[in-house]
Amino acid sequence: MSLPNSVTINDVVLRDGLQLEAKLLTVEEKLDLSNRLLEANVKTIEFGSFVHPRLVPQMANSKELFKYLKGNHDTTFIALIPNLKGAEIAAEIQVKQVNFVLSVSNTHNQQNVRQTTEESLQSLAKIKTYCDQSEIKVDVSLATTFGCPFEGKIPVERVHSIVEQLTKLSVHTITLADTTGMANPKQVYELVHSLVEKFSKQHFNLHFHNTRGMGLSNVLAGIQAGVTSFDTSLGGLGGCPFAPGATGNVCTEDVVHMLHCMEIDTGIDLIKLIEASNFLQTLVDHEVASSVLKAGKSDRKYEIPVS
């Protein structure tokens, strides 16, 4: 098995992880959680989104949160933006990297942002021009890359066509997202490998959900296909509010644990990450879907009971 020496982890708990939570966290609570991620040496964090608070009230304080985060210069903080207005907010508060989401599936895109995929691509072109002028890096996440809850299987040719259009815009990173956990390892390997080969100069990132229990397997398939950058969410929190059945993201500490067991470096302190996940449970008032939090690391040793 061919494995890389290192893998980059982008934690999305502050954005994707919290956007479906019933409890609305304060700026102070989010900052406390952020600091625990930073103490665990997580170097890339999607901290929030600039969407209308009526649509996603959990993200209403993202702008205020960033004012406290932007002094951490060795960490990359990314904001999700839905439109040009979001890019303007990012420029106003000096966010240096943004993530624009569009769906490969027209039906999902219309449910999500009330636009066709083609209309979103046109919007992206304007956003990219604005961000270039403001010296902001633009990432693009392709939702429903591996399947749509409304349309089903997505033709490979459609994914390739959209990725080709994105490369012509010279976006920084393209994230291939399994929005509702429909992907399987064989599908992931074949599609991702074909894209990496065809667009060899493009940086790719992968975003998996563990909806049907294949999240870690899909991460490994993505690594085998040549990608070494992944979105994960502390505690496995998250999901898309506009897609039925879109339960949690792959869990950051479970992914890091797996990679460390395979001698792949992430630069992350797993013990502190587990402590952060335990703290997260107190913030959201429920247990999180973290296997390593429940069971401990695989090298954990138990004392033999005295009979």
pLDDT of residue 240: 62
In a domain, 228, yes or no: yes
Question: What's the Cα-to-Cα distance from 201 to each of 195, 198, 204, 226, rounded to whole Å?
Answer: 10, 9, 9, 12
pLDDT of residue 278: 98
Query: What's the CA gap between 296 and 204, in Å, rounded?
Result: 31
pLDDT of residue 242: 56
Q: Going by DSSP bridges, is the β-strand pair 137-143/44-49 parallel, antiparallel, or unpaired?
A: unpaired
In a domain, 34, yes or no: yes
In a domain, 105, yes or no: yes
Domain CATH code at residue 199: 3.20.20.70
Q: CA 265, 271, 272: angle at the middle one, nearest 5?
A: 100
Query: What's the CA gap between 166 and 247, in Å, rounded?
Result: 28
In a domain, 115, yes or no: yes
pLDDT of residue 87: 98
In a domain, 302, yes or no: no
pLDDT of residue 149: 86
In a domain, 300, yes or no: no
In a domain, 207, yes or no: yes
Q: How many CA atoms lie within 13 A of 126 on its CB side?
A: 12
In a domain, 60, yes or no: yes
Q: Which residues of the chain have pLDDT under 70?
A: 240-246
Tell me which DSSP letter residue 90 carries.
H
pTM of the model: 0.95
Annotated active-site residue 240? The verdict is yes
Range of the domain at 42: 8-295
Share the mean pLDDT of the chain.
Answer: 94
pLDDT of residue 245: 59
pLDDT digits (tens, 9 = 90+) for 24-37: 999 999 999 999 99
pLDDT of residue 302: 75
Number of domains, the chain: 1
Active-site choice (131, 148, 240, 251): 240
pLDDT of residue 171: 98
